[in-house]
Structure 1
């Protein structure tokens, strides 16, 4: 049986000591009520907030954006422009906060880092054979080390969904542990590890809960819904299940783990729905870019347009902000 929310998990090594013990633990987690989860997510999505709170929510959401470009046609020029935008999303308004990070392929890390410097905007790199996660372990680790050596502050790894769905939980656990070790940077802070589940391929909410606990047991700093390459990507019910998992993990261990929904979040209205859910499900401690992020490429522009509307009373033209 899984521990109660107040249990002492200092003996977690026993849980992960073998395939059978890990399977027993994960399958002992309480099942997710699909109807209940979807109904609660729908209910939370109807909450409205006042204008003053909306202004604060828009600024908070901007600080949580991992501004992302993960295309085969990415160029150094595009990455430099994206990094500049992350630092100054609205060059005409110095009160506009910066984004959290720029997320790129490993070969673009050095380019992004060159622009961002010590601005406080992080460089995140996808790794471990993104987006499929299907590669030999030495290749996955080399991919990670290359990104870290190039200056990545954060690594977004993808799990082997085939292994997870086949019940090879210990293999997935050990891969996450190994990738976290590859995030080490002697002499300075290690890169933080975000673990991508690709929830659109996991079939059930029970699997989302299990993989959330699996990743947290393995040392993930963040758990992330999707690569953005598979549909459905982030959804409110899936994110709700993940927020419940991090809340319960903190209650059980005292350790906080972040959550990153990614893919398909395009509007300010959507972003605010997620922020309401974070507050209601996990709690206000997660309303911080250290603990909640949006993986997005187009969301930032809508946040900026809505912000300008609140400030000036009129919408900006569609060409006012750069297209990403």
Structure 2
């Protein structure tokens, strides 16, 4: 008798474990990856990977040369080639390092389940998605299984996504579909650093090993975007937007350095506090809180991650030392808060 295939099960704490959704690019192809990461900027487990690929008339993916040329003609000069959202697998059997670019975003457990429901709404007998799905929940502990079985009884509307992924063309390519999936899942528009041009690299770089981001390269996950907090005051949303933009751009310089990892995590912790536990602070309380936080973290905030000979010379004279971009940002934030406070009193 054939031996029963061993089930692949993993455990997840939905309150403590951190989930992400990432838009990724490998060569000319964009796809979406979801997984679990830790505070050390390492991916612990890839849970799902999907992307839009063109298909043959029978519905199977095809990569033959003549097939490719015919599809390329349809994409460039016709009404688009037939395509579908396809499962790209959560792992590989070989080390096979592959360079990719990406940008990743914080994801809640609820949003992860919504994404899986979307996939189940698109699934057919001919096109199935083998991803990690919740099969048991006890309090905060969740058991997930790598399976194609449908686990959700509730149906969601997938018409918009189905329409978007059934054709591949210049103005509706794999990048457009990947962006739509991320935006629909996070309920926020993607930042400006993500181009809709499928040939453009995404902001950050890593390497896939066995199909998962390398453990030797930091994998950065941006927090929930400022647009997700419409209830906050204009001043607080502006500060969150400035912090978010600083986090985005700081990763373009020396991304693998310990200093960058430290500074990114420092800003991310402040951002999460401001958007959550401290969201109801008054302007004066917010100003005091930021000044206190800055004093406590000044060594990280003031640190220059890239220096030159002039910086090394000026470092001998504290008064002439160049300020880091992050320190300059906090000067501006404090100045704006003080002005807003004065206007409020006046």
TM range (shorter): under 0.3
Considering fraction of residues, name the structure with more strand: 2
TM-score by length of structure 2 reads 0.22
Q: Larger Rg: 1 or 2?
A: 2
When the two structures are superposed, what TM-score results if normalisation uses the length of structure 1? 0.23
Judging by fraction of residues, say which structure has more helix.
1
